[in-house]
Amino acid sequence: MADFRSDTVTKPSKAMLEAMSSAEVGDDVYGDDPTVNALEARVAKMFGKESAIFTPTGSLANQLAIRTLVKPGEELLAEANSHIVRAELGAAATFSGITTRTWKSENGIVKFNEVLEMLSPNAGPYLVSTKAIAIENTHNFGGGGVQSIYEIERLREESARVDVKMHLDGARIWNAHIASGTTFLDYGKNFDTISVCFSKGLGAPIGSAMLSNNELVSEARVWRKRYGAGMRQVGYLAAAANYALDNNISRLTQDHQRAMAIANACSSAAPSTIEPENVKTNIVALDLSKLSISAPELNLQLKEVGILTGALGPNFLRVVTHLDITDLDMEKILKILPDLLKRALVA
Ligand SMILES: *Cc1c(COP(=O)(O)O)cnc(C)c1O
């Protein structure tokens, strides 16, 4: 099977497994795991932050950030198709007791003015008070789009004036950095809290982190334990993340080139399905609404010939490239997918 469902399907390489099995470990709840401590210090420094906390999932990293920024009954602003809103199963409401108000944007790309218009800080006893804004970069359901650092900086400048905090859902910030050239430090400057995933494009089997200042990370450490995610000898997993940071960031360009090749082939066969210029990273979001085939149908046809993709809506088929995709997988999808799209063109 050529597995284009997600960049989460990768398996650790032999070299990564070796790095894991030779890791020095200790009880991380006691702060005794040297490999976890080194990873947390390293990733915090990369983004110019004081501290970081290792978590099993990106969802937990996001939720720890939200928990520390927004109090019960207060409000987080987020994009309508963001992971925090659609894919974390109501965690922010369930665990933190907060409300979320959303803005909608084309392909998930943020325009600072549209968000500023929604701010309702210090609303007193009349309206819900806005405490934080979440930005997703790259934007997953938006098709891997990269947020403009200009828009982020403007939003930061204006929201800071009214003490509204900013959270970066940076599950794929590595891809955003590679595609845009924006440094991790420049991203770091503009956010109070950041979540990053080692288990997406970087290829670790598990692991994320939440980054912030010492105070908020200390608070997050209490909540992580309370949520039941205080972990023990997880240096074995942190070693995979360290290995991924050492070896798997710059190679993301290959994933991006391959996604572009798929987008170009699909666009040539069926122009309405994708604008190749919108494909900036490793995600190809195909819009089948003008074709005579649905996403679940196309997904099934592809599966029958050994290609796995994601049907994320009736007309939304997602194709994701990653480090376990082979040249053969690429040949296969480039040969078959454009052909199936062509057949589904409405005459
Ligand atoms: C994958 C992902 C996460 C975290 O997901 P987990 O499965 O909980 O690790 C968060 N945000 C975005 C945008 C993601 O794609």
- Out of 216, 247, 278, pick the residue that ends a domain: 247
Residues 264, 151: one domain? no
Amino acid identity for residue 240 in this structure: A
Q: CA-CA distances (angstroms) from residue 240 to 22, 191, 231, 291?
A: 11, 26, 16, 42
CA of 69 relative to ligand 1 center, distance in Å: 19
Q: Examine residue 6 and state whether it is found in any structural domain, yes or no.
A: no
CA of 193 relative to ligand 1 center, distance in Å: 15
The total number of structural domains in the chain stands at 2
Q: Examine residue 1 and state whether it is found in any structural domain, yes or no.
A: no
Residues 67, 155: one domain? yes
Residues 105, 137: one domain? yes
Q: Examine residue 220 and state whether it is found in any structural domain, yes or no.
A: yes
Q: Examine residue 176 and state whether it is found in any structural domain, yes or no.
A: yes
Hey, which bits of the chain come out as E strands? 2-3, 51-55, 75-79, 99-103, 130-136, 165-170, 193-197, 208-212, 283-287, 307-308, 310-313, 316-320
Q: CA-CA distances (angstroms) from residue 150 to 76, 110, 136, 188, 190?
A: 22, 10, 15, 14, 11
Cβ count near 268 (within 10 Å): 12
Residues 54, 189: one domain? yes
Q: At what angle do helices 214-226 and 58-69 cross, to 10 degrees?
A: 120
Residues 132, 180: one domain? yes
Which residues neighbour 177 within 8 Å (Cβ) at sequence distance 6 or greater? 183, 184, 187, 249
Q: CA-CA distances (angstroms) from residue 331 to 26, 258, 326, 328?
A: 45, 11, 9, 5
pLDDT tens column, 37-52: 999 999 999 999 999 9
Residues 264, 197: one domain? no
Per-residue pLDDT of the chain (347 residues; tens, 9 = 90+): 999 999 999 999 999 999 999 999 999 999 999 999 999 999 999 999 999 999 999 999 999 999 999 999 999 999 999 999 999 999 999 999 999 999 999 999 999 999 999 999 999 999 999 999 999 999 999 999 999 999 999 999 999 999 999 999 999 999 999 999 999 999 999 999 999 999 999 999 999 999 999 999 999 999 999 999 999 999 999 999 999 999 999 999 999 999 999 999 999 999 999 999 999 999 999 999 999 999 999 999 999 999 999 999 999 999 999 999 999 999 999 999 999 999 999 75
Atom 2 of ligand 1, residue of closest alpha carbon: 171
- Out of 247, 269, 289, pick the residue that ends a domain: 247
As a whole number of angstroms, the distance between CA 340 and CA 227 comes to 46
Q: Examine residue 93 and state whether it is found in any structural domain, yes or no.
A: yes
Q: Which of 263, 174, 234, 275 is nearest to 37 (CA)?
A: 234
Residues 111, 34: one domain? yes
Q: Which atom of ligand 1 is nearest to the CA of 56?
A: 9
- Out of 214, 247, 280, pick the residue that ends a domain: 247
For residue 165, the cross-strand partners are 132
| Structural domain for 104, as ranges | 14-247
CA of 171 relative to ligand 1 center, distance in Å: 6
Strands 165-170 and 193-197, bridge-based pairing: parallel
Residues 198, 258: one domain? no
Domain CATH for 315: 3.90.1150.10
Strands 165-170 and 130-136, bridge-based pairing: parallel
- The per-residue pLDDT for 135 is 98
- Mutate which of 10, 141, 169 for ligand 1? The one with the most ligand atoms within 8 Å of its CB, which is 169
Residues 262, 202: one domain? no
Domain CATH for 168: 3.40.640.10
Atom 3 of ligand 1, residue of closest alpha carbon: 58
CA of 270 relative to ligand 1 center, distance in Å: 30
- The per-residue pLDDT for 346 is 76
Q: Examine residue 5 and state whether it is found in any structural domain, yes or no.
A: no
- The per-residue pLDDT for 347 is 56
pLDDT tens column, 103-137: 999 999 999 999 999 999 999 999 999 999 999 99
Q: Which two tokens stand for residue 39?
A: 């990873």
- Mutate which of 6, 82, 200 for ligand 1? The one with the most ligand atoms within 8 Å of its CB, which is 200
Q: Examine residue 8 and state whether it is found in any structural domain, yes or no.
A: no
Q: Using an 8 Å Cβ cutoff, are 93 and 78 in contact?
A: no
Residues 124, 264: one domain? no
Residues 258, 294: one domain? yes
Q: Which two tokens stand for residue 290?
A: 């003008």
> Which protein residues touch ligand 1 with a CB less than 6 Å away?
57-59, 62, 83, 136, 140, 169, 171, 197, 200, 208
- The per-residue pLDDT for 176 is 98
CA of 232 relative to ligand 1 center, distance in Å: 23
Q: What is the DSSP letter of 319?
A: E
Strands of 130-136's sheet, edge to edge? 51-55, 208-212, 193-197, 165-170, 130-136, 75-79, 99-103
CA of 59 relative to ligand 1 center, distance in Å: 6
Q: Examine residue 9 and state whether it is found in any structural domain, yes or no.
A: no
Residues 116, 214: one domain? yes
As a whole number of angstroms, the distance between CA 17 and CA 1 comes to 23
